[in-house]
């Protein structure tokens, strides 16, 4: 059965009650991953169970991320939850230690990926060739590139991304287990929700926006800060001459690009707002910029926004990604011209 058919069928099935409409936390997904992995144990092989096949396909998928590791023919499974704060530690055939960092819509933090690898390699004294690190990601995240690093002793580690597409590959079969059917349906609909290229912009959700923004590749200084479901900040630049931060914001609600100032020592005053709007007016050759009502603030100030909605769509109300990205590139060019102008002032 093709993946497309699975997704289309499961979109219809979402009209019926689904366990994962209510079990939305990462701990719920932890339990589901452990449940699937337990089914992969060779002792369930003779049952000819479809649940066993799902478990095997999941482990096959994990091992498939490592070209230099020969996948075992059969699996014996031991699972440890929250072992040293690791979401899931799956020990396969008493040899391979699979570290699974499970994320829905959150991201890794506090150097936790390095910490978990060190715990298994150093504290448990497991050889690096017997450690598999999996970053299991069912939701959306702005930056998925920071999944590798080095230990204090110089040993390199990398967490392999296991995305919604990988999960769908595992579940792309006829099932008879209601829990797995619900999860199959849940992941299929997350995939629909994240596919901004095929989704009418009136149906976009926060997950759609995050997927779209990630593909824009706006740089490493991307952040959502407060109001994560309403916009994303990028191109943040500190301007020493005026002791402020000058940056751009994509507003999910207005679907416009905003130009903003932030306190970096001095309050962003009305005078500074007017100064930067005049510079915007000077450098915005091809894009119409509209001044917004601004007032003195101790932290931030929005000084202007694009007059038009920056999402450029076709006749079917689907996004034209290339044209939209070009529009955003022009706003970045305006931002950079202003930064250069102000920094060159004496």
182 with 19: CB under 8 angstroms?
yes
Per-residue pLDDT reduced to its tens digit, 41-64: 999 998 879 999 999 999 999 999
The model's confidence at residue 113, banded by pLDDT at 50, 70 and 90, is: very high
3-state secondary structure of 150: strand
H helices of 224-300, in order, are 270-283
C-alpha distances in Å from residue 175, one per residue of 38, 159, 185, 211: 17, 29, 11, 29
Out of 142-151, 292-301, 318-327, the most confident range is 318-327
What sign for the dihedral angle of Cα 231, 235, 241, 243? positive
* pLDDT of res. 1: 42
* pLDDT of res. 17: 87
Q: Tell me which of 74 and 15 has the higher pLDDT.
A: 74
Half-sphere exposure of residue 239: CA atoms within 13 angstroms, side-chain side:
27
Nearest C-alpha neighbor of 328 from the set 256, 279, 237: 256
The overall longest dimension of the chain from CA atoms, in Å, is 79
How far apart are alpha carbons 134 and 101 in whole angstroms? 6
How far apart are alpha carbons 346 and 337 in whole angstroms? 16
Map tokens 């020969």 to a residue. 70
Structural domains in the chain plus CATH codes: 3-194 (no CATH), 198-343 (3.30.1460)
* pLDDT of res. 229: 60
112: tokens are: 């936790």
Nearest C-alpha neighbor of 143 from the set 199, 224, 201: 224
What's the whole-model pTM score? 0.86
Q: Does residue 70 surpass a pLDDT of 80?
A: yes
How far apart are alpha carbons 205 and 139 in whole angstroms? 12
Per-residue pLDDT reduced to its tens digit, 247-284: 999 999 899 999 999 988 777 888 889 999 999 999 99
Map tokens 């500074």 to a residue. 272
Arithmetic mean of pLDDT, 23-48: 92
Arithmetic mean of pLDDT, 313-328: 95
How far apart are alpha carbons 196 and 182 in whole angstroms? 23
104 with 26: CB under 8 angstroms?
yes
């Amino acid at each position: 059965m093709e993946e497309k058919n699975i997704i289309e069928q499961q979109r219809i099935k979402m009209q019926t009650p689904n366990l994962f409409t209510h079990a939305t936390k990462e701990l719920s997904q932890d339990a589901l991953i452990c449940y699937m992995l337990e089914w992969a144990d060779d002792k369930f092989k003779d049952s000819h169970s479809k649940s066993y096949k799902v478990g095997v396909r999941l482990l096959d998928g994990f091992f498939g991320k490592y070209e230099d590791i020969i996948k075992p023919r059969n699996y014996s499974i031991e699972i440890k939850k929250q072992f040293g704060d690791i979401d899931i530690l799956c020990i396969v055939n008493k040899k391979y230690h699979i570290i699974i960092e499970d994320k829905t819509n959150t991201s890794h933090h506090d150097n936790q990926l390095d910490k978990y690898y060190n715990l298994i390699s150093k504290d448990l004294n497991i050889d690096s060739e017997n450690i598999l690190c999996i970053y299991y990601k069912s939701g959306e995240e702005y930056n998925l590139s920071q999944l590798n690093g080095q230990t204090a002793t110089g040993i390199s580690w990398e967490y392999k991304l296991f995305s919604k597409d990988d999960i769908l590959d595992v579940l792309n079969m006829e099932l008879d287990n209601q829990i797995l059917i619900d999860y199959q349906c849940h992941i299929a609909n997350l995939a629909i929700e994240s596919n901004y290229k095929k989704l009418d912009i009136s149906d976009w959700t926060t997950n759609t926006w995050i997927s779209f923004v990630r593909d824009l590749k706006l740089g490493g200084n991307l952040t959502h800060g407060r109001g994560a479901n309403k916009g994303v900040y990028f191109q943040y630049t500190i301007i020493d001459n005026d002791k402020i931060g000058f940056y751009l914001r994509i507003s999910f609600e207005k679907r416009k690009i905003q130009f903003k100032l932030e306190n970096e020592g001095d309050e962003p005053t009305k005078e500074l707002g007017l100064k930067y709007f005049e510079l915007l007016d000077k450098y915005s050759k091809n894009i119409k910029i509209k001044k917004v009502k601004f007032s003195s603030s101790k932290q931030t100030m929005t000084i202007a926004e694009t007059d038009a909605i920056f999402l450029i769509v076709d006749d079917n109300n689907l996004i034209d990604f290339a044209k939209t990205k070009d529009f955003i590139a022009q706003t970045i060019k305006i931002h950079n011209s202003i930064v250069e102008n102000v920094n060159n002032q004496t």
